Amino acid sequence: MNLSRIFILRPIATSLLMVALLISGLLAYRLLPISALPEVDYPTIQVTTLYPGASPDVMTSNVTAPLERQFGQMPGLAQMSSTSSGGASVITLRFALDMSMDVAEQQVQAAINAATSLLPNDLPMPPLYSKVNPADAPILTLAITSPTLPVIRVNDLVENRLAPKLSGPGRGPGGHRWRAPPGGAHTGQPHGAGRPGADAGGPAQFNRRGQREGRQGRL
């Protein structure tokens, strides 16, 4: 039996069916849970190893590389990155979203135990691992400085005026839109609402929800 023949012989019913499918698709699209900043909990573990006095090359060859070889054998590992500096090695492991964090921690601990014999014998402590959330990293770093206002006044302006506006829907004081100043600077002030003596300087960090995490002012 030819399936297309049924639709050819019944054009009205076919048209109504297509309209119904179109309307259902539009309704389903409007009901999709969409978020500008979705809450996604990536199973991510960071392994830190300290070896005081060791150069970055020594950390890479004697600490980071043996650990990476063991971590690379873990099932469910989606991404691995590492940073080796003087006296410290940091390896970030991100697992598949469907993997339980408890299982990931067990695998990481087993890999560390397997790599113990390959690491330097004079390490002050074994590698330490902890759960991290990549979404907690700040997406914007700002700094406020003023040649005329005291630090307390600058801090008050940041806490009570700047931070609430940045956590809002993209508008500055007085309803002005924030935009970068000429020259491609990373920070800006509201167009038409500038304050004499205030400009961008050292870090005042905000997380992905616009909440303030830290500050540093300078005069």
60 Cβ contact partners less than 8 Å away, ≥ 6 residues apart: 84, 89
- On whether the pTM is more than 0.85, the answer is no
Instruction: Please state the rounded mean pLDDT for residues 28-55.
Output: 84
By mean pLDDT, which of 5-14, 37-46, 177-186 is the weakest? 177-186
Q: What six digits make up the tokens of 112? A: 């560390």
DSSP 42: -
pLDDT in tens, 75-118: 989 999 999 999 999 999 999 888 888 899 999 999 999 999 89
pLDDT in tens, 138-174: 777 778 888 898 888 888 888 888 888 877 654 444 4
Q: Residue 197: helix, strand or coil by DSSP?
A: coil
pLDDT in tens, 119-129: 998 899 999 99
Q: Average pLDDT of the chain?
A: 76
